[in-house]
A and B are shown apart, each in its own frame.
Chain A
Amino acid sequence: MNEPLNRYLDGEIDLAELTPEARLEAAAWDALVADAREAGADEAPVGLESRIMAEIHAGRRTFGSRLVGWWVSPHSVRVRPLIGLAAAAAIAALLFLPFRGGTPVEPESAATALVSEESVYVQFVLEAPNAVSVAVAGDFNDWAPETALADPDGDGVWSGRVRLTPGVHKYMFVIDGTDWITDPHAERYAEDGFGNRNAVLAITGGAGAGSLAP
């Protein structure tokens, strides 16, 4: 293979800098590289994610299981007699103290729960003329790209309604199950911590109907 062609394929020179013969070869190589990208699997097999997460769950002991393990496993404890006596006295004092109950505190989540009973339908729209499928994934569906949008008239504009609770939601579109796309028309964006930007949608709850907040 000649040097200019290698330099073209390495991205160092443009196609226009090649001779006409070399351009034909370059076109064949471009086709090969495009085919190489398509050769092989597109996505991980079904079930791999569950397998990975099952092993992660199995491989780690939760704080609760460690706590239970500590209580049910035998331990040798060395205590100085004087300290042991003091501890026993303290426990006895606690047992004999009169119980003073407090006013039950309303759980803080009650207000949130009330608000979360309201929900609104949000219309997601993405123009993706070359897509075979489009889904929306966000914090509202655990980032699973399974909430599909539809393009019934085949005009390349995909849309779908999703029921959301009031609050701030982050989401992305997923094209063909693999390409994660940030909504180009979102009002706001936030770094997702993985090198991408999430679109941000803020929904305020209203009396009977929700509204989108800018």
Chain B
Amino acid sequence: MRDVLAGDDDAFAILVRRYKDVLYRYAERMTGRPDDAADVVQQAFIKGFRNLDRCREPERVGGWLFRIAVNLCKDHLKGRARREVPLEAGEPLRSGRGHPEEGAERAEIREEIYRALQALSDEQREAFVLKHVEGWSYEEMAEKLDVSIPALKMRVHRAREQLQELLEYYR
């Protein structure tokens, strides 16, 4: 880590190798577009590299990079919202009743959940993904997003309600 902080490119490459997947998984769920996610992750690492001297806890550099990616996702989505007309959530994504069986349907189900996540507001999606996909506690979320715990709970609860509406079989 000393080498990374000293600006050693090769040492930083180890960080990129280690954290690129976790950052990409988050960015892809947040942006809903692989190309946008790759751009966000690239920006996150470059911003991280240029601001290594601001990493106060080198032993938690992964979390620090993740937080940069979270903020860049936010900026990216705001910019995109200004440029593009948002899609309507529309009809429930699946009309069948009962919980889907295990098996071949699984990939299709996940695709529907992925699409449903994209239909949430940016704040709701961020809160839901961090809470349920990344497994963060509300305390961690509050600290890293600078949002109060009650507000985050409200976002997650609304995200669940919205998903319930969109994914009919979970009603």
Contacts and interface: CB of A to CB of B under 8 A. Distances in A.
Report whether chain A binds chain B.
yes
Interface of A: 1, 6, 9-11, 28-29, 31-33, 35-45, 48-49, 51-53, 55-57, 59-60, 142-145, 177-178, 180, 191-195
A37 B130 CA distance: 11
Given A39-B110, A57-B9, A144-B17, 9 more contacts: A35-B106, A41-B25, A43-B25, A44-B20, A49-B16, A52-B20, A55-B46, A56-B45, A195-B59
B71 interface: no
A59 B59 CA distance: 26
Contacts of A11: 137
B21 interface: yes
A41 B34 contact: yes
A56 B46 contact: yes
Contact of A35 (B2, B113, B156): B113
Interface residues of B, number: 61
Interface stretch (B73-81, B82-90, B158-166): B158-166
Contacts of A143: 14, 17-18
A178 B42 CA distance: 18
B142 interface: no
A59 B46 contact: yes
Contacts of B7: 60
Interface of B: 1-2, 4, 7, 9-10, 12-18, 20-25, 28-29, 34, 37-38, 41-42, 45-46, 49-50, 58-63, 99, 106, 109-111, 113-114, 117, 128-129, 131-133, 137-138, 153, 156-157, 160-161, 163-164, 167, 169-170
A56 B114 contact: no
A206 B7 CA distance: 37
Q: Which 9 interchain pairs have the tightest Cβ spacing?
A: A193-B1, A44-B24, A39-B114, A39-B110, A44-B20, A43-B21, A39-B113, A33-B132, A41-B28
Nearest to B135: A37
20 contacts: A9-B132, A31-B99, A32-B163, A36-B128, A36-B129, A39-B110, A39-B113, A40-B25, A41-B24, A41-B37, A44-B24, A45-B24, A49-B20, A52-B41, A59-B46, A142-B10, A143-B14, A193-B1, A193-B59, A195-B59
